């Protein structure tokens, strides 16, 4: 996809989102963030999105060894002591200031070792970070490791083990709201034949579609489009492994369409009536499990909103199989709910 096509797609997505109900319109927080993301795309191009836009998603940069995430990895290192820290090379470290590049390399290396130590499915080492989008290239052996791969695999494993007795998502249908460039969907795509539906707002949704078309050229993809009748596109969606939708298109899907619905670190950026609305959609659409990872306490000062871990209510027929502070990022909680 050329950059001209990408910006045309962003415009098309924006028009469909704008035509939807007010409940789906981005909060003031996200309006400001999207403006910065689009400006960054114009300035840097999609070829650099993993070291530009992605730093606004779930890829954290640390400027000091006193950073809480870095200190947490040092605390956890004795539980999985290995040589992961010294066997990696940061190939394009010039992207960051020298001291930050070394902190980042050590952090990702330790996170990789921790994720490998906690791998219950035995699939983690099948993954390597794609070089599309010019990520921070931290090489270990013949492959590349990344913060996104580690976090995404941990989330994938929590969903798979907690939701499916067969410990595999094969044949399942997964939905994700606020999917960013698709880091979690990539892991599902690499390790299973699960169908994955991405719901987001532009420009992130356009970046994700362009990314998946490039890294999965032989997989069938339902590209974003405007539609008013789900029946007209149902068969094509069902035959595609990956499909892309603006957030307001979620309401066109029939009840119990998805086996699992995922949201990671984006509900807290919405207004509280929007949070409640999307949780109602998750409840309506999902047969088996809902996976949430959010800030325990989040202050959205643009919209003047405080969101806590108690602001994600679901009906009583959802029971928590996991409800804990995240091992890696203790300012987040991780929650897997199963339908009873």
pLDDT for 39-92, tens place per residue? 888 888 889 999 987 777 778 899 999 999 999 999 998 888 777 667 899 999
Q: Distance (Å, rounded) from C-alpha 282 to C-alpha 320?
A: 15
Give, as one character, the DSSP assignment of residue 328: S
Q: What are phi and psi of 157, to 5 degrees?
A: -65, -40
Q: How many domains does the chain have?
A: 1
User: Largest alpha-carbon pair distance within the chain?
Assistant: 55
For residue 244, tell me if it sits in a domain: yes
Q: Distance (Å, rounded) from C-alpha 234 to C-alpha 222?
A: 10
For residue 114, tell me if it sits in a domain: no
334 token code pair: 């991780």
On the 0-12 / 13-18 / 19+ scale of CB atoms within 10 A, 11 is exposed
For residue 286, tell me if it sits in a domain: yes
Peptide bond before 56: cis, by omega within 30 degrees of 0?
A: no
The predicted structure's pLDDT at residue 324: 97
The predicted structure's pLDDT at residue 186: 98
For residue 26, tell me if it sits in a domain: no
CB atoms within 10 A of CB 1: 16
For residue 76, tell me if it sits in a domain: no
259 token code pair: 């086996």
For residue 240, tell me if it sits in a domain: yes
For residue 174, tell me if it sits in a domain: yes
CATH number (domain holding residue 158): 3.40.50.150
For residue 326, tell me if it sits in a domain: yes
- Residues of the chain where predicted confidence (pLDDT) is lower than 50: none
Q: Distance (Å, rounded) from C-alpha 312 to C-alpha 268?
A: 9
Domain containing residue 167: 151-339
The predicted structure's pLDDT at residue 84: 64
The predicted structure's pLDDT at residue 152: 98
pTM: 0.94
């Amino acid at each position: 996809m050329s950059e001209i096509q990408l910006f045309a797609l962003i415009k098309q997505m924006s028009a469909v989102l704008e035509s939807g109900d007010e409940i789906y319109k981005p909060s003031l927080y996200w309006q400001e963030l999207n403006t910065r993301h689009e400006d960054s795309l114009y300035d840097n191009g999609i070829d650099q999105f993993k070291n530009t836009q992605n730093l606004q998603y779930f890829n954290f940069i640390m400027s000091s060894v006193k950073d809480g995430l870095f200190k947490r990895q040092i605390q956890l290192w004795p539980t999985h002591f290995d040589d992961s820290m010294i066997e990696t090379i940061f190939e394009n470290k010039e992207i960051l200031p020298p001291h930050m590049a070394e902190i980042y390399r050590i952090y990702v290396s330790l996170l990789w070792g921790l994720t490998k130590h906690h791998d219950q499915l035995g699939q983690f080492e099948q993954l390597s970070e794609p070089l599309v989008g010019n990520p921070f290239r931290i090489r270990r052996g013949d492959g590349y490791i990344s913060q996104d791969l580690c976090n995404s695999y941990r989330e994938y494993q929590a969903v798979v083990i907690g939701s499916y007795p067969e410990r595999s998502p094969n044949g399942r249908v997964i939905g994700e709201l606020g999917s960013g460039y698709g880091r979690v969907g990539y892991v599902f795509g690499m390790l299973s034949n699960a169908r994955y539906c991405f719901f987001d707002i532009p420009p992130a949704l356009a970046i994700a579609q362009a990314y998946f078309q490039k890294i999965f050229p032989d997989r069938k993809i339902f590209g974003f489009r405007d539609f008013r009748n789900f029946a007209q596109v149902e068969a094509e969606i069902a035959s595609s492994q990956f499909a892309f939708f603006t957030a307001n298109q979620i309401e066109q899907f029939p009840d119990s369409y998805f086996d699992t619905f995922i949201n990671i670190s984006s509900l807290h950026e919405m207004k509280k009536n929007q949070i409640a609305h999307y949780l109602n959609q998750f409840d309506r659409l999902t047969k088996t499990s809902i996976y949430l990872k959010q800030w325990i306490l989040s202050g959205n000062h643009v919209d003047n909103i405080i969101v806590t871990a108690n602001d994600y209510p679901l009906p009583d027929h959802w029971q928590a199989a996991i409800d804990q502070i995240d091992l890696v990022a203790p300012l987040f909680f991780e929650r897997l709910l199963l339908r009873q």
